[in-house]
Structure 1
Amino acid sequence: MSEMSGMDKYKFRRALEHVEEAVGRGTELVSVYVPPGRPISDVTNYLRGELSQSSNIKSASTRKHVTQAIESSMQRLKSYRMPPPNGLVVFTGHKQIGADQTEMVAFVLEPPEPVTSFLYRCDSKFYTAPLHEMLTEKDLYGLLVIDWSEATLGMLRGKRIEVIKNLQSQVPSKHRMGGQSARRFERGHDIAVHEWYKKIGELLTEAFLSQADLSGIIIGGPGYSKEEFATGEYVHHELKKKILPTFLDTGYTDEYGLRELVEKSREILSGLDLMREKSLVQRLMEEIRKADGGLAAYGEDQVRHALQLGAVETLLISEGLRKSRLKLRCANGDWEGEKTVAEDGELPTCPKDGGALTVVENRDLIEDLTATAEGMGTSVELISKDSEEGQLLLRAFGGVAAILRYRVT
């Protein structure tokens, strides 16, 4: 599967948000996961069986709602002869909209990764956990645990650890000797260690130099060997740039050591994207603090103007931004234009006569700004809310800011 872009992830997260807003009065919401290659006819037959079983539900209203949800799922599956390449997920059911009121909803999603197994679930909420798992980062990291006697090389993609190779060294153990023998042994030991490190460096190069999507290399081990190897001249210069600066202590240098290394690096890995985002917002703030205003714009109006001039180098948008860009028309036809409003907010009135406005088009603001930016060759960075800088972007600048190519007046 090709890696999802930031915007694809955003759109899918937004779709999941809409799904998760639905809450049933009881176990009335149906979730169906269809893996690729599973005949739609098999799924439909299974749902017919569930439809038959639903007649045993004691509550008349729950029985009616579950029946309608299953029938709605079957109806939507009729649009497919076979599942798409990654499978299909169908959510149907009655969501609660008031004390005694419900509304039928239906969502059909094509997931970003293949559905691994068929699943049918009826609950008070739609079951979305597998889809959230698909959105977790799948960056590739090289792994190495090493000491003088053993080394294990592996890789981490998402949560999957793959062992590439385990090697035993020929480095002799150090032990006490006296006089000339001690010095000769020490020299021989140092040469053996040097050759051992060279061999591991060559394996790293062979395994990772051609990996264009390699995000970093994590090195650990039980002693000083990890630092000695990583800081010496044993690793290809391009790969050396990828070595994470924190070396982790592990008790083992075998496959278990790799798992220990990954467990201890979770906090480091989770912070890498945040650090990149923090540096972007900090760069924005540096520009804003300059006496002449620097190469920065913030707030939707300023940023939109700079985008239209092609002056934006990097567009920063908060993932927490929840607004819509509306194309509006006055009821009497005197005015037509665009306005940004809070999601599900009240419509403004006509600026000419104060009359009612009709929505001609409704676009998500993040998608609207991103489309404009991409048309101008501007890079777009979606900034999470999980850092102080991310909160600053959302609260102080309305969730929209830009680093400029040149100043705009």
Structure 2
Amino acid sequence: MLNPKLLKITKPKIYTLGSLNTLLLGDRNKREKDDFMAGAPHHVLEEVNEADMAVFKKKLKMLEAIKGRHTELITQYIPPGTDRSTVMNTLSEEINQSGNIKSPSTRKNVQGALRKIIGFLKNINFKLPPTGLVVFAGNISESEGRSDIRLFTVTPVRPLKVKLYWCDSAFHIDHLKEMMAPNDFYAIMVIDKNEATVGQLVGKKYEILGHFTSMVPGKSRAGGQSSQRFERLREEAMQDFFKKSAEKFNSYFEPYIPRIRGVLIGGPGMTKNYFMEKKVLHHELEKRVIGVIDTAYTDEGGVRELVQKSQELLKDSELVKERQILDKFLGEVARDGLATYGQAEVEKALEDKRASVLIISEDIPWIVFRKFCEHCENAEIEIVKEPETFEESKMRCTKCDSRVETLEEISYLDYMIDRAKECGATVRVISTETNEGKQFFEGFGGLAALLRYKV
């Protein structure tokens, strides 16, 4: 029986895919000893709704593309629990300070953006989402001398911990980009008879959760009965190491099985296959094994090698859910069943609460303006399908034809997700990275719904 004290463990470390080149051939004897980490994986991220993450990523991509001609794009980070007077006083003080800007046009645009932010915060009565709020405003016109001051908001997908005011020629989104790590992850193990390393892959980063060695002796060259006995003891020691490695692997990931997108097992030769044949993994984890792959190493370098060799496998796996929902939608359409598509039809299904699943392409470019008429106090929305040619200054109130104030500008994707939540429908955001996603966007306008019932 293998002595448990022979297991050597290292503390968890986090690496990016580009930072481990120097570790591939590192000294394996310089491993830090520590008590083994029992329980679930450390640093597992908070759950984030898939649709919310899709909207979040699209907004950041849009904001990152905006470049000011001068230093006149303002970013205001407001964490949850922020004192209202502190933010309002800061913005008011910035208006006063901006009076020192030498360029008249830049001064006008900065002050206009600040007043737009103040007006927006007053309009929502400073009621912040639970995760906080980030407000962006500034002149986004690409023409010199022309002013087009727009306001955008982003609700962080995870609690905002940074309070920040920033005025520059680009919006400041670095802290928000850090939140884009996916909800789910892949469980990883590389193993042979001598050592095993367990990790988790989250997006493009992976974390080493544990490393342990067995000290299973090498093959004996002695002949006779002692050789047979030695081989039997060696086999028992190896099986015991496999069992203990699997127990540690199971203890990490069992509490998070629903969030595991797949399990990857690697190692040199046939040892990893022998390990899988022993059926020592938790049965639900075993069901999620998507690849058993050859690697030259079974330490941190082996994990990196496993991730690199699994890129295509991981990419394909990420699209399984998307393809399944599209197949279901197309099946319902083919038999004239519980499905509909098109803007008017889907919006009506949401309004009537008939929609059970909203299916929407992330490539729909439409913009939704929330506007307010001070003349007749009419609040309404306007959906713009060609934002590249749209002029905000020409918007009018549909009741009295007066000029209106734009309170907020959001994507149609964001708008529809909010409507789906209001009627209790789930949301599936479809990319155009696959042929199915492209066909859905081109053939159905990128907008559809599965229904609870027909009318």
TM-score by length of 1: 0.71
CA distance in 2, matches of 1:116, 1:74: 20
- How far apart are residue 235 of structure 1 and its match? 0.9
Q: Secondary structure at the match of 1:395?
A: helix
Q: Is this contact kept in 2: 1:54–1:63, CA < 8 A?
A: no
Q: Secondary structure at the match of 1:358?
A: coil
In structure 2, the CA distance between the partners of 1:221 and 1:43, relative to structure 1 (3 Å rule), is farther
1:101 equivalenced with 2:146 (yes/no): yes
Q: Is this contact kept in 2: 1:30–1:66, CA < 8 A?
A: no
Q: Deviations over 1:143-192 (max 9, x none)?
A: 22211101122334455544333211132212444454544443333222
Q: Is this contact kept in 1: 2:196–2:213, CA < 8 A?
A: yes
CA distance in 1, matches of 2:366, 2:432: 16
1:386 equivalenced with 2:433 (yes/no): yes
Amino acid at match of 1:224: M
Aligned counterpart, 1:399: 446
Aligned counterpart, 2:200: 155
- How far apart are residue 391 of structure 1 and its match? 0.8
Q: Is this contact kept in 2: 1:153–1:165, CA < 8 A?
A: yes
Aligned counterpart, 1:199: 244
Aligned counterpart, 2:398: 358
1:64 equivalenced with 2:107 (yes/no): yes
CA distance in 2, matches of 1:112, 1:90: 14
Aligned counterpart, 1:234: 280
CA distance in 2, matches of 1:324, 1:77: 18
Q: Deviations over 1:303-362 (max 9, x none)?
A: 567778877664422222345799xxxxxxxxxxx9987355999xxxxxxxx99379x9
Q: Is this contact kept in 1: 2:187–2:264, CA < 8 A?
A: yes
In structure 2, the CA distance between the partners of 1:369 and 1:43, relative to structure 1 (3 Å rule), is closer
In structure 2, the CA distance between the partners of 1:173 and 1:29, relative to structure 1 (3 Å rule), is same
Q: Is this contact kept in 1: 2:110–2:138, CA < 8 A?
A: no
1:5 equivalenced with 2:49 (yes/no): yes
Q: Secondary structure at the match of 1:126?
A: coil
Q: Deviations over 1:59-116 (max 9, x none)?
A: 6246525763795599589979999875553433323264421133344544223446
Describe how 1:314-393 pairs up with structure 2 within 5 A. 314-323=357-366, 342=385, 358=398, 378-393=425-440
Unaligned runs of 5+ in 2: 1-44, 370-380, 391-395, 401-408
Unaligned runs of 5+ in 1: 327-337, 348-355
In structure 2, the CA distance between the partners of 1:344 and 1:251, relative to structure 1 (3 Å rule), is same
Corresponding residue to 1:174 among 197, 219, 222: 219
1:31 equivalenced with 2:75 (yes/no): yes
Larger RCO: Structure 1 or Structure 2 (Cα < 8 Å, ≥ 6 residues apart)?
A: 2
- How far apart are residue 390 of structure 1 and its match? 0.7
Describe how 1:22-171 pairs up with structure 2 within 5 A. 22-33=66-77, 55=100, 60-61=103-104, 64-65=107-108, 68=111, 72=115, 86=131, 88-96=133-141, 98-115=143-160, 121-158=166-203, 161-171=206-216
CA distance in 1, matches of 2:397, 2:94: 49
CA distance in 1, matches of 2:90, 2:267: 54
Of all paired residues, the percent bearing the same amino acid is 33
In structure 2, the CA distance between the partners of 1:126 and 1:370, relative to structure 1 (3 Å rule), is closer
Q: Deviations over 1:170-224 (max 9, x none)?
A: 3221244445454444333322222111111211222221225431332222333
Q: Is this contact kept in 2: 1:47–1:74, CA < 8 A?
A: no
Q: Is this contact kept in 2: 1:325–1:339, CA < 8 A?
A: yes
Q: Secondary structure at the match of 1:125?
A: coil
CA distance in 1, matches of 2:440, 2:67: 32
In structure 2, the CA distance between the partners of 1:249 and 1:293, relative to structure 1 (3 Å rule), is same
Corresponding residue to 1:189 among 210, 234, 257: 234
- How far apart are residue 396 of structure 1 and its match? 0.6
- How far apart are residue 404 of structure 1 and its match? 5.8
Q: Please say which of residues 140-149 and 43-52 is displaced more in the overlay.
A: 43-52
Q: Secondary structure at the match of 1:96?
A: coil
1:274 equivalenced with 2:319 (yes/no): yes
1:218 equivalenced with 2:264 (yes/no): yes
Q: Is this contact kept in 2: 1:47–1:70, CA < 8 A?
A: no
In structure 2, the CA distance between the partners of 1:270 and 1:48, relative to structure 1 (3 Å rule), is farther
Q: Secondary structure at the match of 2:189?
A: strand
Residue correspondences, number:
384
In structure 2, the CA distance between the partners of 1:131 and 1:373, relative to structure 1 (3 Å rule), is closer
CA distance in 1, matches of 2:236, 2:55: 56
CA distance in 2, matches of 1:149, 1:233: 19
